[in-house]
Amino acid sequence: MITTSVTDIVYSAQSGLLRFNFMQGNMLKNMLADSIMINLFETPRQDAAIANIYLREWDNNGIVQVTPLLFHNEGIKTYKNAQGEVIWQTTSPRFVATAMLSFATGQGNTYYYSVQVENKSCDALRYDLIYGQDLSLCDLSATKTNESYCSQYLDHKVFNLEEYGYILSSRQNLPQSCGNPLLQLGSFSPVIGFSTDGYQFFAKQYKFTHQPTIINTPRLENKNYQYEMAYVALQLQPVTLSSGEQASQVFYGSYLSHQPGANLEQPLDIAQIRATYRPPETLPTTEAEAPVELGYAQRPLSGETLRSDEIEHLFAGEKRVIEESDGQLLSFFYQDANYVTLAAKEHYLERATGHIISSGNNLDFNNPIMNSTHFIYGVFNSHLTLGNTTLNKLLGINRNLLNLFKSSGQRILVQIEGEYRLLAMPSAYEVGTNFSRWVYKLAGGLILIRAFASQSQPVIQLDIEISGFARPLNVIVSHQLVMGDLEEASLIEIEQQDNLLLISRQHDDTGPQFSMIASTAFTGVEKRVDSDSQSPLYLLLKGQIERQASIAFGGVLKGVDSRGSWLDFHHERQQYHAQFRDLMNDFSIHFSAAPQQAVKLNHAMHWFTHNALVHYSSPHGLEQAAGAAWGTRDVTQGPLEFFMAMGRYQQVEAILCQTYRHQYLETGTWPQWFMFDEYGQKQQQESHGDVVVWPLKALADYLQATGHLALLDTPLPYTSIEHGFAFTQQQETLLQHVQRQIDHIVEHLVPGTFLSSYGDGDWDDTLQPANQSLRKNMVSGWTIPLTLQALKTMMQALQGHAKFADIIARMSQLAASMQADYHKYLIKDGVISGFIHFNQGEAEYLLHPVDQTTQIKYRLLPAKRSIISESFDKEMAEQHMKIILENLMFPDGVRLMDKMAEYKAGRQTYFKRAELSANLGREIGLQYCHAHIRFLEALCKMGMAQELYDNLFKTVPVGIQECVPNAEPRQANCYFSSSDAKFDDRYQAYSDFQQLKTGDVAVKSGWRIYSSGPGIYINQIISSLLGLRYQCGDLLLDPVISRQFGDVTVQYQVYQRPITLRIHPLQGEFTPKRVLLNGQPLAFSLQANPYRSGAALIRRQDIEAGMMKENSSDNQLVIYL
């Protein structure tokens, strides 16, 4: 094994609060102000910083040459001078450019980049300068947790002054350890152009060109795009130099540790900023050592376009849900819901296509599960974990969706024409349930790379196959090692045993040990270590491939040992598919009048099952690498409802017991989230006011469905706040836990009422209260009907059993009093209020037609939950459904409110995130898909089959543009948590919101996979659309089927027996009129529903008596509506 040293910080330039850390070759690592990270991305050791100054040479026809002046050009040398200032000097045939970093005199908090250009040619030199700077302004730890999240709350304010042109002030609206940091960027020369986000500057095409797209555009956009990669760029007025002439220009960044209230009303005093600038006086004296090169900075390699016959050969079989643009194939599904994306589609996507694979032992969350995240542009494995997805990482995460950093995770370099080049965008990319496959058509040959997970053990393997090359292919496979939470934070040791490498944290006998085993094609191993600690940062496997080579990852954790295991892909795929079909109860659906809709739904059910398992067993997503925890509210919805719908009651009981173990002994409520493994003491103690209700509702739903009341006798510990979130020695029955839970609800009612106080919020995280009065004296119109539903369902589940008489009486009294106050206070003028705020005995109505403060008239959550919980009578339900359809329904789904909270540069009045987020994504844009799915549940409750048909597919990514015409292209096989309007910023969205309702504004995909939404959607398909539910073990049939579907045929399982379900909407679209099992009529009773005729209840013994023998798959259950 060869060892190479790589230095970390070799020099820090600092002044006042500012400290700029540089690695070897004066490569910027980060920009700090005390604990605040000014820049967004900490530069990896083997990559280049994305902040830079670009010199663009012009002629009469436009831009002819672009040269980066800070990092990575062929003619650059870097120095430090006697004052410790950092200098980059670039020499080209036409000019010499010297860029220098300096700081304000007197230890000020302003930095300057001065650029001096001298024309060395005989002709005139016309050029301009563009300075681009990524920004976070968050605490270092917060920045590294999620750069996109930090960007969403960074407000950019644009000023345009006559003398200086554009000046940008960027304020972090999320409170940090120092307050709300701010950075003002500008120049002493006129700034004629600006942009504010990396998706403007680098753009989607960067995934192909690996060059900032905007630098070849004559003028920056001059548009404030508040998206997910804060990157401020400033363009100076062009300069023309005659031969031998020089010119100097200066950019500056002025930092404030706290800007209270909101962003600046006027820019910082530029005269003062200029007064503290000291022009360069001394020449360079100390040349810096050149940075280490690994090939990442060299030309990446993309696959060539595949011909149609090559596509057919590689992906043989029927193509379904084909997506094209101008006759060009973009994506399709084939085989077992496998999804194939051609490279051409990536030109349309801001969110690069990705995938998460997990080992198939993930039905039990206690198992050590191995996960890996893949991305289309040559991220073959990243965020590879065993167990906890935050703290047990082997490989680093992909921190940006444009592939800006090319050393993250596992990467492959191939030698083409004597040069090692990094594999980037493939010709095609395929994802299956447990694998990804990259296809590279290159230089007359084909490289097929597959990464896949085992069905039975925590092992992930990479296979590389080549064909069509004249000689064996030299390759380097690079691995960015983490062995913990963050890159470069753990001390790592590697032991080599022939072709087996064992990787662990130094002096750690309890954490995971990973293994890598390489096939004989790999003959060389190199580790690149930190020059100080000697801890490995990168592990390189080098070899020569004739036909095939493999690398397998295994590990040891919790007594499970998968080190040194090899896998066979076809066997693992077959086993994984069989397990998946079994978990889904062999679900398959067909609509006689809408066969294409059925194809879409089948694919969605498959991929949402995959997404739901990720959320349950290894919580994280493609945009949200940090996770590894269960949100108390989330796990008792998505995972629990998924397993309930599939009849997997063992998993449901395990979720309930694990959740109730985390109930606080001292308070009776729960943390907002908690880790559920060996790191279970990591949790967020403060929780929203509704969180205490969700475990009660989940338990009640389970008991009502199964009748398994013996679960209430299970002894369980509590979690003790006073003892560091450890489990208590004391155990009480689950029923006693419930009693303590009800105690908490009663103790946290608004004084003088039976309405729960808002606490730290409700389901809508954007509406967290901005002050203490709101926490104690505000009531959520959504939490109350949710609580009523939980109490009533629990009472129904326990009724008829004398041992529960006392708790039933207590819940009954609480529910009756709460119901009375619900009608007394929350409903005004026939409309339910989003919130009410009790202020000195007076009720202030918020998010209601009488609300003159926020100007928001309607809120979805209270209305739909009041329907689902049957808290409304029929007239109220119909009235509120009309309000929803008229005011909250948009082409891409139902929105949380009829208008968004007004944004005022980060100034808070009532709500935190709704008034702090500068970005329109996630809940801020009001179309949060989880809420739309719950709206489907309300439609089913009311029997509104046509409206259900119209809205069923709006959150399904498969062929979404057929249902949502204004939807932009997106990855079609994974759940997106929100539908984000294509507005540039909050101000435009607020003023032009109605254009979204008319469909004149496009909508984009939000964050992907990590959500309770997939599990909830699957439950709505099974329990609400098809109406398959259970009550004390008996079967409820309550389908809601629009005649536009025609006759519905479903393959599924009932009581663990395969069955064909046929639903015929003849007389109506809900409520069974006749039910036949294998040709014989079944007796049933109709259940009550306050809004329509209800479900048919059939005794389990009648179903089982009418079924054929156990191994028969010919059982036919026919329902006539």
Residue with tokens 């395990």: 654
Distance CA 789, CA 939 (A): 17
- Residue 26 falls in which region: left (phi positive, over 0), alpha (psi -120 to 50) or beta: left
Catalytic residue (choose from 155, 765, 821, 980): 765
**Catalytic residue list contains 765:** yes
Q: DSSP assignment of 262-291, as one string? A: SS-SS---HHHHHHT-----S---EEPPPP
Nearest in space to 559 (alpha carbons), one of 512, 522, 516: 512
Q: Is residue 1059 within 8 Å of 588, Cβ to Cβ?
A: no
Cα–Cα nearest to 916, from 408, 171, 158, 10: 171
- The first and second tokens of residue 578, run together, are 């069989």
* C-alpha R_g of the chain: 31
Beta bridge partners of 242: none
Q: Are 164 and 182 in contact (CB under 8 A)?
A: no
What is the length of the chain?
Answer: 1121
Written as one string, the DSSP assignment of 106-167 is TT-SEEEEEEEEEE-SSS-EEEEEEEEEE---EEHHHHHH-HHHHHHTEEEEEEEETTTEEE
Q: Residue 516 burial (CB < 10 Å; 0-12/13-18/19+)?
A: buried
Gap between the Cα atoms of 1087 and 695, Å rounded: 26
**Cα end-to-end distance, the chain, whole Å:** 71
Q: Residue 93 CB: number of other CB atoms within 10 A?
A: 7
Yes or no: say if 410 and 541 are a contact pair by the CB < 8 Å rule: no
For residue 446, what are the β-bridge partners? Answer: 441, 467
CB 931 within 8 A of CB 287: no
Query: Which among 1068, 932, 911 is positioned nearest to 1006, based on CA atoms?
Result: 932
* CA 624/CA 428 separation, integer angstroms: 25
Cα 435 from chain centroid (whole Å):
20
Strands (E), 408-444: 410-416, 419-422, 428-432, 435-442
Task: Using alpha carbons, list the distances in angstroms from residue 753 to 501, 693, 694, 817.
Answer: 65, 18, 22, 9
C-alpha 350/C-alpha 370 separation (Å) is 28
Contact, 1106 vs 1081, CB < 8 A? no
Is residue 942 within 8 A of residue 876, CB to CB? The reply is: no
Q: Are 860 and 951 in contact (CB under 8 A)?
A: no
Nearest to 1034 by CA among 1083, 966, 961: 1083
Question: Measuring CA to CA, which residue among 622, 632, 614 is closest to residue 1014?
Answer: 614
H helices present in 586-646, as ranges: 595-617, 632-635, 638-645
The two structure tokens encoding residue 382: 């990243």
Q: What is the dihedral of CA 1041, 1047, 1050, 1053, to 10 degrees?
A: 70
Residue type, 467: S
Answer for the pair 183, 255: CB distance below 8 angstroms, yes or no: yes
Which amino acids are annotated catalytic? 765
